[in-house]
Structure 1
Amino acid sequence: QPGSQPTAKTDGHAAPAQPAAAMRRGGAGAPADLGSVLGHPTPNLRDLYALGRKLGQGQFGTTYLCTELATGADYACKSISKRKLITKEDIDDVRREIQIMHHLSGHPNVVAIKGAYEDQLYVHIVMELCAGGELFDRIIQRGHYSERKAAELTRIIVGVVEACHSLGVMHRDLKPENFLLANKDDDLSLKAIDFGLSVFFKPGQIFTDVVGSPYYVAPEVLCKKYGPEADVWTAGVILYILLSGVPPFWAETQQGIFDAVLKGVIDFDSEPWPVISDSAKDLITRMLNPRPAERLTAHEVLCHPWIRDQGVAPDRPLDTAVLSRIKQFSAMNKLKKMALRVIAESLSEEEIAGLKEMFQTMDADNSGAITYDELKEGLRKYGSTLKDTEIRDLMDAADVDNSGTIDYIEFIAATLHLNKLEREEHLVAAFSYFDKDGSGYITVDELQQACQEHNMPDAFLDDVIKEADQDNSLSKE
């Protein structure tokens, strides 16, 4: 219904024939121990939030409106029943979903996670409320969009895919009902909401488990040999629906849909295709290429003339995702860097799981530190086009202790989303770390103590004092 925030897996309904719910890896596997899912204690959800009306229902749980008691702000709470987590794989899926939401947080078109909580019966994921309803509802109401509107929406959807891939995440269940509008009056306030089937991947890794939703699944997924290219196929299916109101591959049965996907014949003869531009059809054909190696990448889709905003090709993904954060980090003064390092050390495991995976991929010799050559090779694997001089600048910016390498905590700190830095509880924790006597001010002596704890040289302290304040102390403001 309008304003709903569906959870886990819901049935697709883009055409007269309704497919089965999304395929999951559930079923066979070791039975789950119904102890802790998150692996660490959390506050009680009901001490912090009041649960309201039900917003949506999925295979594994229910989403409710919830209100933060301290602020009165509304959020969505996805409550996953632990009884339904039958196997260890089910539990891993829930953990991974939370890790991936943290990993992608800060992207304007990804729903923001507020926190995860666990009690005896449920795991609760509290996230940004998207009150504008499903993108799918808009497609059904309108029949189809204008090409310009479809191009704007496709740019957002493929932008999310590009961000996922550049951060080592494959979505695996893109579909219109997994995109909600934050604001019902703004079609461009689109947010990706469901990462229940998403996985971390390494460049070149092959996946074999068949997951996704029938209308949207790529042929190579059905053949059990696929990688991130499958997300581009799925986005191509969404684009076809955005322009026509029906999926390109459909039948009365799930097997019939799969047969149509494997045949790969795209109908450009029925209405409204005769009046749709050749450029749009060219893009769809390239996104629905049955050979993954020849299919456009997410970045190439965004560079296609039909998608381009006023003909200007966007930056490559990593340059705007991880690397923009490192560049912004390098512009911070040294005190902020040190505060960020303290925050990085206090973050929970699931908040940094994605960055940890990326660090381990780049740290080729498993030394616990990334050299210039490893950073250069790692960025190349993730599709970066940065020049050597820019990589050297990034290295210098992230190497807080001037050791010539980037250690794990430096990497996490340098690539952290700025929205995490700005979260008040993290800032208060960082300030308290420096303010040893709790006076509300940080003195030179306290800074000196912090520098010693982090093995920073005296010259570093002099720089911090010069940049920070004139009266030799810093207030919390």
Structure 2
Amino acid sequence: MGHCCSKGAVKEDVNTGSIAGVNYQNERPSRKPPTPAGDTPVHSFTGSPWQIPFPEGVGATPSPAGTPRRSMLKWPFPPPSPAKPIMSAIRKRREIKKEKSKIPEEEGKETEISLDKTFGYSRNFRSRYELGKEVGRGHFGHTCVAKCKKGALKNQSVAVKIISKSKMTTAISIEDVRREVMLLKGLCGHQHMVHFYDAFEDDQNVYIVMELCEGGELLDRILSKGGRYTETDAKSIVMQILSVASFIHLQGVVHRDLKPENFLFSTKDEASPMKVIDFGLSDFVRPDQRLNDIVGSAYYVAPEVLHRSYNVEADMWSIGVITYILLCGSRPFFARTESGIFRSVVRADPNLNCSPWPSVSPEAKDFVKRLLNKDHRKRMTASQALTHPWLRDENHDVPLDILVYKLVKSYVRATPLRRAALKALSKALTEDELIYLSAQFNHLEPKDGCVSLDNFKTALVKHSTAAMKESRVLDILEKMKPLSYTQMTFEEFSAAAISPHQLEALQGWEAIANTAFQYFELEGNRTISIEALAQEMNVGESTHSTLKDWIRSSDGKLNFLGYTKFLHGLSIRSSNTRQQQ
């Protein structure tokens, strides 16, 4: 099973840049080096690392980082590296929970509430499998090679993840194991998912039987190539990662720990396919839900995870970090300490100027930039990334994207003015964006060039797995009911399925916005009062002074600034911030 920040941390060797595991669960003494002179000590917990000043060497751009190195301690599932104040807060929370889990007895004695550690799995593991050598050890257990004695897998070698029940000390840790098995079983079937065979248990352990991948980790391949892939080889790796990411995201699952160590090659062959492993940190998430627990590995964690509000876009950031490493052999965010890494993730921009980046294609650099965008709303989805110009010439399918459902749901419930603004924007789209939209429209299998709610439902059910039902992704169809009474042409679908936030991240956004505003002037712009505009955007009177600048005094219609801001949306927080500046 993977590890969340309440179960372990990672120490970085200041001299070598390598990472070593530190086990907090067993209360081992910390092996973290002393705080370097000049670093400000942290004494209180904060979900955001902004309060902490940059460590020496971290400014507008991250410090150069060497090729990621193998851990000093060979953990098969390396624990993540949350910052010191986060770990301090979690340890305190654990102590409080431990106290609450004890019931005082008449004579002042205390007994811990017994935990039910039965999972309902088959208990005949020993009769079906013969355990072999250990191939890895993690925080909660270890992984061994085993040979099947009978059944469909007779004489076949498999990997068995053995999780000790003695280390399941809380109801949460028990649920973590149950969820990991549920995820592996529900997601089984994708070509880049590690294949799940079965789960067993006895009084001491839980046994998760999976496909044995003998080709080693992606990290090992990166190191064997001197830390850098050619663009052609990098594309092959990235497409496999995007393929499985788009699959699990459509099912309503966020992995939360995508990194080179968690991708294994099936065989040692150079052209061997990869498999994603370790769903111990993964979780089910509805399309409109935001998760808030800080989990993952420091070098790959997304900014919004540190701010405790994220969804599947956090995985896309991690894929951006992996792509950066593949193309240049170093990390995009680096610091001497864990909290320093977090500050770099939140504040610094990835360095795309130093060698070898001048020799990397503009398309590859744009690809990395659009994944490492700190605003999660502007980040590409996995399906969108597969249509990016850098990957477009490759032979691959474009999967159905759950983002389309989220955007169409908002469109059919939007006001007429907003729909008119989006329709104008859709007429200014470039061919690059239309390729993605055409692929998504075709997934809906239109009839006579139109789609309705039935098309959206059929497409989603067609790609449904047990995991999708568990994550309740299908619930989004209930919020799309206005489509029951109408049909969408491709033109209207394009208006409904575009994200102004993502378009703003494009280099050609200004030209797109100008063209769109011309269409809006002809077909959608109308006289509107400040009060009506505030109601349209669902904001209060405090925003009126801001909205005044969006309306032309000559005819009372939205000006260009107003149009672009109206597309973007305005929150009460952002408007108050503007007034204070």
The normalised TM-score by structure 1 is 0.65
Map 1:190-229 → 2, pairs under 5 A: 190-229=274-313
Structure 1 residue 373, shift from structure 2 partner: 5.1
The one-letter code of the counterpart of 2:472 is M
The Cα of 1:41 is off from its aligned counterpart by 4.6
> Could you say which residue in structure 1 is the equivalent of 2:128?
48
94, 106, 112: which one pairs with 2:189? 106
> Residue 443 of structure 1 aligns with which residue?
none
Name 2:119's counterpart in structure 1. Answer: 39
Query: Deviation digits for residues 403-425 of structure 1, max 9, x if unmatched?
Result: xxxxxxxxxxxxxxxxxxxxxxx
| Paired residue type of 1:86 | T
Q: Which residue of 1 aligns with 2:171?
A: 88
Q: 2:228 and 2:340 mapped to 1: Cα distance? A: 25
Pairwise CA distance, 1:117: 0.8
1:69-113 deviation line (CA, Å, top 9, x unaligned): 011111000001112122211111111111111111000000011
Letter of the aligned partner of 1:129 in structure 2?
Answer: L
Partner deviation per Cα, 1:39-89 (whole Å, 9 max, x = no partner): 315232111100000011111110000111011111000001112122211
Code of the aligned partner of 1:361 = D
5+ unaligned residues in a row in structure 1: which ranges? 1-6, 330-350, 366-371, 387-477
Deviations 1:182-237 (A, max 9, x none): 01104441000110100000111111110000000001111111111111001000
Q: Specify the code of the residue in structure 1 equivalent to 2:128.
A: L
Aligned pairs, how many? 346
1:274-313 maps to which residues of 2 (within 5 A)? 274-310=358-394
Give yes or no for the alignment of 1:124 onto 2:182. Answer: no
1: distance between equivalents of 2:394 and 2:210? 34
**Which residue identity does 2:144 align to in structure 1?**
Y
**Deviation of residue 313 (structure 1)?**
6.4
The residue type paired with residue 135 of structure 2 is: L
Structure 2 matches for 1:68-79, cutoff 5 A?
A: 68-70=148-150, 71-79=154-162
Q: Cα offset for 1:150?
A: 0.5
Whether the 8 Å CA contact 1:248–1:267 is kept in 2: the answer is yes
| Residues in 1 aligned to 2:198 and 2:314: alpha-carbon distance in whole angstroms | 30
SS of the equivalent of 1:231 reads helix
* Aligned CA distance change for structure 1 residues 175 and 62 (closer, same or farther; 3 Å): same
Would the alpha carbon gap of residues 95 and 306 (structure 1) be closer, same or farther in structure 2, given more than 3 Å must change?
A: same
Matches within 5 A, 1:28-427: 28=94, 29=97, 36-37=116-117, 39-70=119-150, 71-142=154-225, 143-310=227-394, 314-317=398-401, 319=443, 352=466, 354-358=468-472, 361=475
Alpha-carbon distance change, 220 to 212 in structure 1, aligned in 2, over 3 angstroms: same
Percentage of matched positions with identical amino acids: 38
Q: Name the structure 2 match of 1:17.
A: 17
Task: Return the offset for 1:314.
Answer: 1.8
- Between Structure 1 and Structure 2, whose CA radius of gyration is higher? 2
Q: CA 1:364/1:327 → structure 2, altered by over 3 Å: closer, same or farther?
A: closer
One-letter code of the match for 2:316?
V
Structure 1 pair 222–18 and aligned structure 2 pair: CA distance change class (3 A)? farther
Structure 1 residues 290-339: Cα deviation after superposition (integer angstroms, max 9, x where no partner): 0011111111111101122447762424759x97896699xxxxxxxxxx
Separation (CA, whole Å) in 1 of partners of 2:131 and 2:460 = 35
Change in CA separation of 1:304 and 1:360 when aligned onto 2, cut-off 3 Å: closer
Question: Tell me, which stretches of 5 or more residues in structure 2 are unaligned?
Answer: 22-78, 102-111, 403-442, 445-456, 495-581
CA distance in 2, matches of 1:228, 1:327: 21
Backbone CA RMSD of aligned residues: 3.4
Runs of 4+ in 1 over 6 A off after TM superposition: 10-15, 322-325, 374-377
